[in-house]
A and B are shown apart, each in its own frame.
Chain A
Amino acid sequence: MKLTETKTLNAALKSHYSEKKLSASQLEQLLFLQAKASFSDDDMISSDHATHQKEDAKEATSGFWSQFINRVQRLMQKYRYAFASGVTAILFALAISLNHFQAIPTTQSILEEIAFNHKQRMSVTIKTASITEVSHFLEDLSFSLIKSSRLDKKSWSLIGGRYCSINGTLAAQLKVKNNESNKIYTFYQAALPKDLSLDSNATGTNNIDGINVSIWKENGLLLALADD
């Protein structure tokens, strides 16, 4: 094209605009946009048969549910950021709620857990009458075992102990014998769960599924005694 060439105005304008073209990457991007839309809509836009193709495609998937799903998919695509934010907020709220429920144990849930542990009748992993030896053996506990004032030395004998779990934390399950009745009991010591409001009525004996469970606080620990 000669820049000094004189033309009629419309010829010059045609020549000017004919040089204005989309770059290869711009064209690629616009074609990709259409291909993506065609893929998601199962539709073609400007061919002569477009309308028929679309009608055929619609007939093939004309069920209520497919239309409903298509609509939901379009809405999800259109409002994808709001949708993602909503889902995140719901998951966050759910996580907080679950954490909240787990973090606040009830007296009842602990009583049930102790009764369950007792029913398992697990054998001790260390057999000894010395609380100090059991304490050394169960070295992974986050607290030190204590001699409870409720189990006096004259009436009760220690048989041994093992690890157990109470409220999701490591605890001690001791086996003790009542010297007067010769009955075997399981005696539990655990770190006092945070936020646990121990029901004062529970400090008596509770019957949980046929198991008698007593629970109380002592020296900052949660103690419990269970028998059949």
Chain B
Amino acid sequence: MLDKDILNQLYRYALSLAKNEDQAYDLLQSCIEKYLRADTNNIDMPVAYLKRTIRNAFIDSRRRGRFQVSLTQEIIETGDTEQTLAEPTLEDIYIQQREVNGIIDKLKPEESELLYLWAVEEYTVDEIAKLRNQSRGTLLSKMHRLKKRLRSELAEQAPLLKAN
């Protein structure tokens, strides 16, 4: 039985993709129903299985949307080789709590998901790469780009916050 903590964890993951509470719940519910219909004997790690199911269901729901396009573009793009060698951290980025919502809203679903797994669930690069079925190099490149973008977004917001 998936307990309340696990259900909330999966809900937050779905929320990081969908960025809408109702959609996140619908996504979670449909995936749990799918999971319950599956042969659970063959599923060693239910949480990881469910995260992949949620991710695939979300991609399916956006198959003809921007999310799929952004995935394709990002796979084609290559990061700076020097940058991809080192695993980036988020410890050196500072933010006010009230800025978080605005930042997440500006991110693409894939970026928001990456940030959630990286910062909240503290997944390693390898774990994220496995979940998303991506190479480590591609993922590191994305993380560097995301970090750079966050810095840029926060710099843009800073004058506005000071004015408020």
Where the two chains meet, the residues of A that have a C-beta atom closer than 8 Å to any C-beta of B are 1-10, 12-17, 20-22, 26-27, 29-31, 33-35, 37-38, 43-47, 50-51, 54, 78
Contact = CB atoms under 8 A, between A and B. Distances in A.
A3 B97 contact: yes
Given A22-B8, A27-B4, A8 B94 contact: yes
Interface string B19-47: 00100010011001101110011000010
Contacts of B96: 3-7, 12
Nearest to B16: A17
A44 B1 contact: yes
B11 A22 contact: yes
A9 B150 contact: yes
Contacts of B36: 33-34, 37, 45
A37 B93 CA distance: 45
Q: How extensive is the interface on chain B, given as a class?
A: 35 or more
A22 B7 contact: yes
Contacts, number: 115
Contact of B94 (A2, A7, A17, A38): A7
A34 B95 contact: no
Contacts of A3: 96-98
A71 to B, nearest CB: 12
A1 to B, nearest CB: 6
A15 B97 CA distance: 8
Contacts of A10: 90-91, 118-120, 122
Contact of A17 (B95, B97, B98, B120): B120
18 contacts: A3-B96, A3-B97, A4-B97, A6-B94, A7-B94, A8-B94, A10-B118, A10-B119, A12-B100, A13-B90, A15-B100, A20-B15, A22-B4, A22-B7, A27-B4, A29-B29, A30-B2, A54-B41
B139 interface: no
Contact of A9 (B35, B37, B95): B95
